[in-house]
Chain A
Amino acid sequence: MITRNIAVAAAAMTVAATASVAVARDTVSIVGSSTVYPFATVVAEEFGKKTQFNTPKIESTGTGGGMKLFCAGLGTDHADITNASRLMKSSEREMCESNGVTDIMYVKVGYDGIAFANSVESPKFNLTLEQIWTAMSAHGGLPATWNEVDSSLPNQPISIIVPPPTSGTRDAFAELVLEEACPLEDEDKCAELREDGAVVEGGENDPLLVNKLVENTDQFGIFGYSFLANNADRIQGAGISAASGQNYNMNYADPTIDTIASGDYPIARPLQFYVKAAHLDVIPGMKEFMDEWVAEGTWGPEGYLVDANLVPMPDAEREEFRNVVQNRVVMK
């Protein structure tokens, strides 16, 4: 009796499952980086308002998690687009190909600056990448105060909150600052942070981090540019110079849209997304959503994404990636 009931229940579930597979999806499904999320959502919302299509659904899974979902296969059960704050790794490419996801379009959308910020109550710092490395590294002599790093800096204890290792911002900071300015021969040791309490790990929640900096004015935090711009009444970004050595006439650049776009501000990374070309003609609204992304009014220097603090690409790059979308150029 019980076994028969179980069999009936199992049969019913199978029927329900097959029925749900047949339901076609009419909403674009996007996964991926939490750094690209605030920009992608703005575009999705604008697209939903302007057209008769559904507003695309965007999950903030992180770049790595997004790649896994994206590369899991073709078809309406799988994501159409994945946002990324770094390039696709070769291992991820292989995973994609082994699951039949072969035609992938790569679209860069703009740049994001990373700010090294403290409370506005504290003096504003001007730092070189090398100085940041010395202050943070496990192999930089472990200075206790900033003027031990360089005599021109204030006599203020070093205290820096870094994002957790799961964060894309941490990866980018390690690559663009710690590895870039590293004087060590052994490159594996470049991104090792000191563990004497001067550098501590914070959580993923940026508003909380801002509150910490406001309470402890000696502390520095690491933020994406849009966060700094929205909290300019409470935190300020240090001027950064990529030059090295004992040159005191260095050009320090404050993080702003203009300095990041021109490349004067050295800590900036590209943001991008990957698209399944095979889905373009299957999912209603997907083509049109891509067109919305590459419109000048969206990602251009006067577009609405600039208001969301995305740093636009130069004209030539925008032209290049608009071409990718319009002519469906897939990655080699």
Chain B
Amino acid sequence: MNTHASAASATEVVQQGLDKRYSAESRFKIYGILGISIAMVFLFILMFSILSTGIPAFSKSKILLPFYMDPEVINVEDLADPAAARKINLRKIVNDSKAAFFGATERADKRQLEEVVSTLAQLEVLEHIRANPEDVGQTVELWVTADDEAGRWYKGEVDETLPENRRPLNDQQIEWLKRLTAEERVKTTFNDTFFQGGDSRNPEQAGILAALKGSFLTLIVTLGLSFPVGVAAAVYLEEFAPKNRFTDLVEVNINNLAAVPSIIFGLLGLAVFLNIFGMPRSAPVVGGLVLTLMTLPTIIISSRAALRAVPPSIKDAALGLGASPMQTVFHHVVPLALPGMLTGTIIGLAQALGETAPLLMIGMVAFIVDVPQGFTDASSVLPVQIYLWSDSAERAFVEKTSGGIIVLLMFLIAMNAMAVLLRKKFERRW
């Protein structure tokens, strides 16, 4: 362009340049919108696939069957005592009752009935008969849980048109299931088992509670240790520590630790907590300690950033009015930095909630049926449970996997909501 343009054309040049700047601006906006929409589309696809496969995990099919409470098998006196009640041969009650109902006499037919009624029925019958001992000797109609393959059939996930040897259910079993539908002996209910128990090899009996509680216990240990230690370290380094080579070294090390792959912390936990201190394997307390090590750098770094963001004028004013350095920090600086520190802590904990790698080394990737009762009981955590289900052969575990992911996401949303609330409560503007 000619730089020696006359005054008349100068406005034109500016005008042209202006058009260019406007179009660059609108292009930039479009890029931004494009970026956000791509992210939204992926998020939508992810949520859609998880929700569409995971929602069926929250419902289960129940079947209404008559059970003959054989007085020869059930001893009424045993019912009051839980230990004695456990010894009652409920398998016989359930097997005899369902064989009688479906008219199965051959051994092979009886085996095929295993795919129709879950073994959970034994517990459901026990619960009923313990609550109603007067029913011993009677035939009672009870709603019991359907087996996983029968459940998939009622949810429409089994293709009937396939040849018999490629279906999980054979013609006889499908005929039984259809008969139950025709007699209105089938209903779909909320899957309470999913929220009441631990892992199981039978998909219809698998529950998320043990893993949920494991995650909860682990995070309590992590929060209880990493928040005070992290905040104390940040306050010391930011407000009190002298600036010298040693504190520089500490700072570099903390920043590096934040980038260390999490499995390394697992190895450290194995070597220190298990092998040297002899703490129990698979326990939430050890998981919490390992995850504390992992989240500490995140918390320290974000807490220091929050402390640095407090205006120096507040500090100067406090010192000027005669407050001691410690009073200045704890009466003025820390309360103002608290919202930022809490945000950092929640981000660190959210990261810890999703970790499986470090827990592998300390034995938390395990088949755990019993719901943990304390910090030293064997326990798994939510992401571990999801991983174990995703690797299982039984097809009904596919929906359990997505169901587990939904529970994990809910947990995360609850945690984040808490962080937002706390931040709102403590936030100061200046």
Chain A interface (Cβ within 8 Å of chain B)?
13-14, 16-18, 20-21, 23, 25, 27, 29, 31, 37-38, 41-42, 44-45, 48, 50-52, 54-55, 57-60, 77, 120, 204-207, 224, 226-227, 229-233, 236, 302, 307-309
Q: List the B side residues contacting A77 at CB < 8 Å.
A: 274, 278, 280-281
User: Do A60 and B365 form a contact, CB below 8 Å, given A45-B200, A232-B165?
Assistant: yes
Q: Does B343 contact A (CB under 8 A)?
A: no
Partner of A55, one of B370, B376, B398: B370
Q: Are A57 and B378 in contact (CB under 8 A)?
A: yes
Partner of B366, one of A17, A51, A59: A59
Q: List the B side residues contacting A38 at CB < 8 Å.
A: 201, 392-393
Q: List the A side residues contacting B370 at CB < 8 Å.
A: 27, 48, 54-55
CB distance from B172 to the nearest CB of A (A): 16
Q: Does B246 contact A (CB under 8 A)?
A: no
Q: Does B368 contact A (CB under 8 A)?
A: yes
CA distance A77 to B278 in the complex (A): 7
CB distance from B116 to the nearest CB of A (A): 13
Partner of A233, one of B162, B281, B392, B394: B162
Partner of A45, one of B201, B282, B398: B201
Count B interface residues, CB 8 Å.
40
CA distance A151 to B391 in the complex (A): 38
Residue of A nearest to B392 (CB): A38
Residue of B nearest to A229 (CB): B393
Q: Are A57 and B390 in contact (CB under 8 A)?
A: no
Q: Are A20 and B281 in contact (CB under 8 A)?
A: no
Q: List the A side residues contacting B280 at CB < 8 Å.
A: 20, 23, 25, 77
Q: List the B side residues contacting A60 at CB < 8 Å.
A: 365-367, 388
Partner of A27, one of B114, B162, B167, B378: B378
User: Do A41 and B201 form a contact, CB below 8 Å, given A120-B166, A205-B390, A207-B390?
Assistant: yes
Q: List the B side residues contacting A59 at CB < 8 Å.
A: 282, 363, 365-367
Q: Which 9 A-B pairs have the closest CB atoms?
A: A17-B277, A55-B369, A58-B367, A59-B366, A230-B393, A21-B278, A57-B378, A41-B367, A233-B166
Q: Does B86 contact A (CB under 8 A)?
A: yes
CA distance A277 to B220 in the complex (A): 38
**CB interface residues, B 190-210, toward A, < 8 Å:** 198-202
Q: Are B398 and A207 in contact (CB under 8 A)?
A: yes
Partner of A58, one of B202, B366, B376: B366
CA distance A27 to B165 in the complex (A): 41
CB distance from A13 to the nearest CB of B (A): 7
User: Do A20 and B279 form a contact, CB below 8 Å, given A55-B369, A55-B370, A57-B366?
Assistant: yes
Chain B interface (Cβ within 8 Å of chain A)?
83, 86, 111, 114, 159, 162, 165-168, 198-202, 274, 276-282, 363, 365-370, 376, 378, 388, 390-395, 398
CB distance from B270 to the nearest CB of A (A): 10
CA distance A44 to B369 in the complex (A): 9
Q: List the A side residues contacting B394 at CB < 8 Å.
A: 230
Can you list 24 A-B pairs, Cβ within 8 angstroms, ordered by A? A13-B277, A17-B277, A20-B277, A20-B278, A20-B280, A20-B376, A27-B378, A29-B281, A41-B199, A45-B201, A45-B202, A51-B86, A52-B86, A58-B367, A59-B366, A60-B367, A120-B166, A205-B391, A229-B393, A230-B394, A232-B166, A232-B167, A233-B166, A302-B111
CA distance A246 to B395 in the complex (A): 40
Q: List the B side residues contacting A21 at CB < 8 Å.
A: 278
CA distance A207 to B114 in the complex (A): 24
Q: List the B side residues contacting A226 at CB < 8 Å.
A: 393
CA distance A313 to B225 in the complex (A): 52
Most buried by A among B162, B165, B279, B388: B279
Q: List the B side residues contacting A232 at CB < 8 Å.
A: 165-168
CB distance from A121 to the nearest CB of B (A): 11
Q: Are A307 and B168 in contact (CB under 8 A)?
A: no
Q: List the B side residues contacting A25 at CB < 8 Å.
A: 280
Q: Are B367 and A57 in contact (CB under 8 A)?
A: yes
Q: Are B282 and A57 in contact (CB under 8 A)?
A: yes
Q: List the A side residues contacting B365 at CB < 8 Å.
A: 59-60
Q: List the B side residues contacting A308 at CB < 8 Å.
A: 201
